Amino acid sequence: MKSRLTPIVGTFLVVAAAACGGGSDTTTGPPTPATPSTPSTPSTPSTPATTSTLRQLATAKGRYVGTALDATFFGQSALFGTNPAAYDTLVAREFSMIVAGNVMKWEPLNRNGRLTYRWANPDLLVAFAQANGMKIRGHTLAWHQQNPTWLTSTTYSADTLTAILKEHIDSVVGHYKGKIHAWDVVNEAFNDGTGTLRTTGSPWGSIIGAGYIDVAFQEARKIDPAALLFYNDYNLETPGAKQDSVFARVSSMKARGIPIDGIGFQAHFQINADGSGAPSQQTLVNTFTRFASLGLKVEITELDVRVRTPGAGATELAAQQKLYGDVVSACLAVSACDAIVVWGVNDGESWIPGTFSGWGQALMFDDTLGKKANYDAFRTALGG
Ligand code: XIL
């Protein structure tokens, strides 16, 4: 269900061309909503009509609302009936920020060899966002997963691997210089549970050691001083050894002058069969406040809430909807939190069923782009 490039590219190019050429063929492609104001200067809130979109409501609150996108999901006529632009239109209407779900990662971008890059798909996403006045999160510059074979099959020296990391950041951050709101510079550097530095499966941690984190942030700042630089991870939302470890690390980075601007909370949540599993709104507020106290921004970067499939019952679904609302409310309660990004538009494209067998239905839209109760909860929490 992922081979639908022809209508996608066709649809997309019209949008980008109209934006770039100054023309305005408003009969084709997604609408071009107004550029959202920056979080520090929100547009004047007006009484939202009941039809206000998430994008409009979030903008009125001085927040971005985002989604992960893959280039292959533009213009999904096969999935969404006869309108090949349905997906693109929905994305531009409901969201003010995008992040590449995969195509800016090392493997998709750099699989053909050192310093050989496949820019086409990520460039499509960036142009789509620009044509529609959306912010862009870059994801990600150093991670232990989705690395190319040429990188992982050779045991480089620490010096060589550090040079490879720097040259990759030079290339990628340089390619998108001036276009990226925030980079997830380092992703998932610490082990779940213990919070120790991840070395197993990570060339960065095992060969270079924790110093690679500093190197990556310093290099990214050098190449694009305007991009916000984030550390991004999962299971940081609740107190524990991992949260403490990351807090200690970023405190140390701040103290040592390593340029870090924010923490990305992935927020991949699970509601158990008995309805348990959600962190409380107060827990989320406490966590965001803890990191904000270091002078860091907070963004919720990969929100999804999985339930059992098939068979999730009313209790689970109610807890899922409540959590969607609680995440939004927690972000609104902390001024340092400027963005809430979901990890995909619709359940049919979500990574969850393929990664967590027996789990799914984690997003705000169903397989045919219908709004789910999660959408309503998100919207209500935004004041809609
Ligand atoms: C996932 C993608 O959604 C999948 O398509 C891919 O197969 C694996 O990666 N944390 C992250 C994201 O930081 O990059 C991951 O995305 C989900 C977990």
As a whole number of angstroms, the distance between CA 103 and CA 333 comes to: 33
pLDDT-derived band at 76 (thresholds 50, 70, 90) equals: low
Render pLDDT for 138-148 as a digit per residue (tens, 0 to 9).
999 999 999 99
Catalytic residues: 188, 302
Q: Is pLDDT at 292 greater than 90 in this prediction?
A: yes
Please compute the mean of the pLDDT values over residues 62-79 and round it to a whole number: 76
Measured in angstroms, how far is the CA atom of residue 383 from the centroid of ligand 1? 30
Question: Could you tell me the sign of the dihedral formed by the alpha carbons of 141, 65, 73, 21, in that order?
Answer: negative
pLDDT at 75: 57
Degrees, nearest 5: CA angle 76-78-83: 60
Atom 5 in ligand 1: which residue has the minimum CA distance? 351
pLDDT-derived band at 81 (thresholds 50, 70, 90) equals: low
Instruction: Indicate whether residue 102 lines ligand 1 (CB < 6 A).
Output: yes
Q: Is pLDDT at 25 greater than 50 in this prediction?
A: no
Decide: helix, strand or coil at residue 342: strand
Measured in angstroms, how far is the CA atom of residue 141 from the centroid of ligand 1? 14
Instruction: Indicate whether residue 59 lines ligand 1 (CB < 6 A).
Output: no
Q: Is pLDDT at 355 greater than 60 in this prediction?
A: yes
Q: Is pLDDT at 50 greater than 80 in this prediction?
A: no
Amino acid at 229: L
Q: How many Cα atoms within 13 Å fall on the side-chain side of residue 293?
A: 9
> Which of 75-79, 142-146, 149-153 comes out lowest in average pLDDT?
75-79
* b/e burial code for range 24-48 (CB count within 10 A of at least 16 → b): eeeeebbebbeebeebeeeeeeeee
Question: Could you tell me the sign of the dihedral formed by the alpha carbons of 34, 36, 37, 43, in that order?
Answer: positive
Return mean pLDDT, the chain. Answer: 88
Query: What proportion of the chain, given as a percentage, has pLDDT over 90?
Result: 79
Atom 15 in ligand 1: which residue has the minimum CA distance? 101
pLDDT-derived band at 368 (thresholds 50, 70, 90) equals: confident
Residue 131 · residue 21 · CB < 8 Å: no
pLDDT at 156: 98
Render pLDDT for 215-253 as a digit per residue (tens, 0 to 9).
999 999 999 999 999 999 999 999 999 999 999 999 999
Measured in angstroms, how far is the CA atom of residue 68 from the centroid of ligand 1? 10
pLDDT-derived band at 79 (thresholds 50, 70, 90) equals: low
Q: Is pLDDT at 361 greater than 80 in this prediction?
A: yes
Q: Is pLDDT at 28 greater than 80 in this prediction?
A: no
Render pLDDT for 267-290 as a digit per residue (tens, 0 to 9).
999 999 999 999 999 999 999 999
Q: Is pLDDT at 352 greater than 70 in this prediction?
A: yes
Residue 236 · residue 284 · CB < 8 Å: no
As a whole number of angstroms, the distance between CA 30 and CA 37 comes to: 20
pLDDT at 82: 58
